[in-house]
């Protein structure tokens, strides 16, 4: 049988008072694989439906008692929400509302067709029935109803989703007219897009937002990709932020989801504040400044503009913190940042930067200022000057009147650096330079400064190796007894033969050696080398030549100094009276008590002591007397202008007279001319040293000079100093 060739596809309720018709219908349905249930009139059909809802109802219009229209209406009524089954039957299923109902109408009864639809029919079949087609017709309606049912489920699903999410959703047609609008449950009463279905976006939203929305909607339609954008609406007191997400429905319109993100924005802003603001002063912090700098770099690069970075550090902040406490320290920093803010005039503020603020606190007492669009370097210096002035006004904090000064370093884009890190670093370096130059100072970074510092670092590394690599050597400068013109002593002067930089004079590395403490081993080497040289001359030339050795302050403070001197003398066999230690006024004045003790110990050893560069320090005469040193060396700055410089001539004469009064002998340094020597002789100067009498020279040249002068026989010695100038050995 044909029926067996089809799988079961559903159950059809056939309601007809004519048994023949029912039979035929059953047969036709069976042929397309459908089951059927029969009902011989309306009430029977309704009862059957209630017992077991079929997948489709085939309903004859003309039936006694209750016509097909009434039955159709009754079935639909069963599916209405809250419907009760008749005769105490259980509540009907919702299937009654959607089950497909096909009405069988008579002939060309148009009226019946209309009535059927009004009663809720899905389709109709008119008599005479085209029997071969009937089964297929039913199948077709079943399939359609199935599709509708699935759509209904999908729709319900979508509605459930939309109801569950907090967003507002809307649908726009391609012209920008609202097709749908559903307010999200979290959109609140503040959301403005109420009652907008059928209206154009430009009637509902502010112009700029509407324009943007339309633009984005068009882009979504053409690209078929999701787009999202944020916008801000001023609603009541506060602006609210929204995020709209647009997606194409695939049917030529656009679905939009709008979320109120005001809360999120607020949190983000708070996080941003925490991340970019200095909590103590409320101004931007290091991170913010670095990002600002990056933006300024981009801008200045494109616009070919210059800008400056100022790095400010308070000069005595640590002292204030330590003495007045951290509370006052914090107050000071807050007040300083306020003053800085006021000091940076609006003209320094950048117009192209939304944030506008270019003052930042990097931490501690370090502040930075970015000066964009700089025309001239002087403008940066002027800002620095204003900052310094602002800091100099006394601060009244917590009952204390506080005075501070600031040191400022300035780096320039693009001259000094082309990236934020370098610019900040160089401004910092310049600030340190400013501090070193005596605080309350502003200094521009210039590349020479890095060179200095770079070579300083390299020099230190090199100096550490200089001793072990034998790069140090001594030159000796003769010291002449003025009346006899005889060489009576030499001064040992150290040199460094640097493997790359050549010969480096002591003034370029002794300060570094002092700073690093390397002067102690270097000084010891100088002492031993000089002592052994003096001993050698004593032996080879048979002349007792006094060896003068310079001592730096750091060496003088070294507890082991006497030990070092003693062992140098002991190891070389030089008599103490032939060693003279030169000390500067500064070294002696530092700590009077310790100085006296050390001088005492040295005197007990038997070495001679002299004051070097006399006149450049601030020694008081009474101190000099107590120190009881053998000689004063008048600094060359007094000698150089002689004899024309009458003032210095008078000073020189006074020093000589005074020293003699204190029973000290006087050595004049820096004697370069015949006239100078003659004048010094006239003033009664005891000894002289200088280029005219002999440059600092290697040991061999001195040996030569000593041999020439060998065995001076009092008056027979030529008055003029023997070969006055040895070749420059520097
Ligand atoms: P100083 O002790 O006053 O040495 C005299 C300096 O004057 C030497 O410079 C010498 O070359 C220079 N001089 C000598 N005669 C003349 C002259 O007629 N005209 C001019 N214009 N200059 C003259 P130098 O050798 O460069 O030494 C500079 C300073 O370095 C020394 O000044 C001394 O303070 C220090 N120094 C040198 N060697 C040593 C050392 O071994 N240890 C320590 N601690 N310091 C040293
Ligand atoms: Mg000296
Ligand atoms: Mg000197």
Per-residue pLDDT reduced to its tens digit, 383-438 = 999 999 999 888 998 888 888 889 999 999 998 888 999 999 999 989 988 887 77
Report whether 491 contacts 477 (CB < 8 A). Answer: yes
615: Cβ below 6 Å to ligand 1?
no
Report whether 446 contacts 412 (CB < 8 A). Answer: no
DSSP 8-state class, residue 316: S
Q: Is 272 exposed, middle or buried (0-12, 13-18, 19+ CB in 10 A)?
A: exposed
Highest mean pLDDT among 347-361, 448-462, 626-640: 626-640
Residue identifier of the C-alpha nearest atom 43 of ligand 1: 550
Average pLDDT over residues 174-192: 74
DSSP 8-state class, residue 726: P
- pLDDT score at 664: 93
pLDDT of 592 above 80: no
CA of 539 to the centre of ligand 3 (A): 28
Percent of the chain with pLDDT over 90: 53
558: Cβ below 6 Å to ligand 1?
no
Query: With bands split at pLDDT 50, 70 and 90, how would you rate the model's confidence at 60?
Result: very high
- Tens-digit pLDDT profile for residues 318-342: 888 888 889 999 999 999 999 999 8
Residues whose CB is less than 8 angstroms from the CB of residue 495 and which lie 6 or more positions away in sequence, other chains included: 472, 473, 474, 475, 503, 504, 505, 506, 730
Q: How far apart are CA 392 and CA 403, in angstroms?
A: 7
DSSP per position, 585-639? HHHHHS-HHHHHHHHHHHHHHT-EEEEEEETSS---HHHHHHHT-SEEEE-HHHH
Q: How far apart are CA 629 and CA 581, in angstroms?
A: 10
- Tens-digit pLDDT profile for residues 474-501: 999 999 999 999 999 999 999 999 888 7
Nearest CA-CA partner of 78 in 68, 87, 88, 86: 86
172: Cβ below 6 Å to ligand 1?
no
pLDDT of 718 above 70: no
Query: With bands split at pLDDT 50, 70 and 90, how would you rate the model's confidence at 290?
Result: very high
CA of 573 to the centre of ligand 3 (A): 27
Atom of ligand 1 nearest to the CA of 635: 3
- Tens-digit pLDDT profile for residues 662-705: 899 999 999 999 999 999 999 999 999 999 999 999 999 999 99
pLDDT of 726 above 80: no
Residue 495, Cβ neighbours under 10 Å: how many?
19
Nearest CA-CA partner of 552 in 639, 613, 618, 469: 613
Residue identifier of the C-alpha nearest atom 11 of ligand 1: 696
Q: Across the chain, what does the average pLDDT equal?
A: 86
Atom of ligand 1 nearest to the CA of 689: 15
pLDDT of 710 above 80: no
- pLDDT score at 721: 43
Query: With bands split at pLDDT 50, 70 and 90, how would you rate the model's confidence at 375?
Result: confident
Residue identifier of the C-alpha nearest atom 37 of ligand 1: 493
> Six-digit token pair at 242?
């929204």
Atom of ligand 1 nearest to the CA of 477: 14
pLDDT of 348 above 50: no
Q: Is 715 exposed, middle or buried (0-12, 13-18, 19+ CB in 10 A)?
A: exposed
What domains are there in the chain, each with its CATH number?
3-161 (3.40.50.2300), 165-266 (3.30.450.20), 281-445 (3.30.70.270), 458-708 (3.20.20.450)
233: Cβ below 6 Å to ligand 1?
no
Residue 393, Cβ neighbours under 10 Å: how many?
10
- pLDDT score at 167: 83
| 523 compared with 721, residue with greater pLDDT | 523
CA of 566 to the centre of ligand 2 (A): 21
């Amino acid at each position: 049988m044909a029926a067996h060739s089809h799988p079961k596809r559903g159950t059809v309720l056939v309601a007809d008072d004519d048994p023949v018709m029912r039979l035929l219908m059953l047969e036709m349905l069976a042929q397309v694989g459908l089951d059927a249930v029969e009902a011989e009139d309306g009430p029977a059909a309704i009862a059957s439906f209630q017992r077991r809802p079929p997948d489709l109802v085939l309903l004859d219009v003309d039936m006694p008692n209750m016509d097909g229209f009434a039955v159709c209406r009754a079935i639909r009524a069963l599916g209405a929400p809250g419907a009760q089954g008749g005769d105490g039957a259980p509540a009907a299923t919702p299937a009654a509302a959607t089950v497909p109902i096909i009405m069988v109408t008579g002939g060309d009864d148009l009226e019946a067709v209309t009535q059927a639809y009004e009663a809720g029919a899905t389709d109709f079949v008119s008599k005479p029935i085209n029997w071969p087609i009937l089964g297929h017709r039913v199948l077709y309606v079943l399939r359609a109803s199935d599709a509708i049912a699935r759509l209904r489920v999908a729709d319900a699903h979508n509605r459930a989703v939309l109801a569950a999410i907090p967003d507002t959703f809307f649908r726009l047609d391609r012209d920008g007219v609202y097709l749908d609008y559903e307010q999200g449950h979290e959109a609140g009463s503040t959301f403005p897009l109420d009652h907008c279905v059928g209206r154009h976006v430009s009637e509902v939203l502010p112009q700029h937002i509407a324009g943007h929305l339309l633009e984005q909607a068009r882009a979504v339609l053409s690209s078929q990709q999701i787009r999202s954008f944020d916008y801000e609406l001023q609603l009541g007191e506060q602006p609210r932020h929204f995020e709209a997400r647009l997606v194409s429905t695939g049917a030529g319109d656009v679905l939009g989801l709008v979320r109120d993100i005001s809360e999120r924005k607020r949190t983000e802003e708070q996080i941003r504040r925490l991340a970019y603001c200095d909590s103590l002063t409320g101004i931007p912090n290091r991170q913010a400044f670095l990002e600002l700098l990056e933006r300024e770099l981009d801008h200045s690069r494109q616009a070919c503009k210059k800008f400056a970075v100022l790095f400010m550090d308070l000069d005595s902040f640590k002292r204030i913190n330590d003495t007045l406490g951290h509370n006052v320290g914090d107050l000071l920093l807050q007040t300083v940042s306020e003053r800085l803010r006021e000091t940076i005039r609006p003209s320094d503020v950048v117009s192209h930067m939304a944030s506008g603020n270019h003052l930042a606190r990097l931490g501690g007492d370090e502040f930075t200022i970015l000066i964009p669009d700089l025309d001239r370097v002087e403008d940066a210096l002027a800002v620095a000057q204003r900052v310094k002035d602002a800091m100099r006004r006394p601060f009244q904090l917590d009952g204390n009147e506080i005075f501070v000064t600031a040191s400022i370093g300035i780096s320039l884009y693009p001259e000094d650096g082309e990236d934020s890190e370098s610019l900040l670093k160089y401004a910092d370096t310049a600030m340190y330079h400013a501090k070193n130059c005596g605080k309350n100072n502003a200094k521009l970074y210039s590349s020479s400064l890095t060179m200095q510092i770079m070579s300083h670092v390299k020099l230190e590394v090199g100096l550490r190796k200089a001793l072990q690599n034998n790069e140090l050597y001594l030159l000796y400068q003769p010291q002449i007894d003025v009346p006899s013109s005889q060489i009576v002593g030499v001064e040992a002067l150290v040199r460094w033969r640097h493997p790359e930089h050549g010969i480096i004079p002591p003034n370029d590395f002794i300060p570094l050696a002092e700073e690093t403490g390397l002067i102690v081993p270097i000084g010891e080497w100088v002492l031993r080398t000089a002592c052994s040289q003096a001993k050698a001359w004593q032996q080879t030339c048979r002349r007792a030549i006094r060896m003068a050795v310079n001592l730096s302050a750091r060496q003088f403070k070294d507890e082991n100094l006497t030990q070092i001197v003693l062992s140098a003398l002991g190891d070389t066999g030089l008599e103490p009276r032939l060693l003279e230690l030169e000390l500067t006024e500064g070294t002696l004045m530092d700590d009077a008590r310790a100085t006296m003790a050390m001088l005492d110990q040295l005197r007990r050893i038997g070495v001679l002591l002299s004051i070097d560069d006399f006149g450049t320090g601030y020694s008081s005469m009474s101190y000099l007397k107590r120190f009881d040193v053998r000689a004063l060396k008048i600094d060359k700055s007094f000698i150089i202008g002689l004899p024309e410089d009458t003032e210095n001539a008078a000073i020189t004469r006074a020093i000589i007279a005074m020293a003699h009064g204190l029973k000290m002998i006087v050595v004049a340094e820096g004697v370069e001319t015949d006239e100078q020597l003659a004048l010094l002789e006239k003033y009664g100067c005891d000894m002289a040293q200088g280029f005219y009498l002999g440059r600092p020279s290697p040991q061999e040249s001195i040996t030569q000079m000593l041999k020439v002068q060998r065995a001076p026989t009092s008056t027979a010695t030529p008055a003029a100093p023997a070969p006055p100038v040895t070749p420059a050995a520097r």
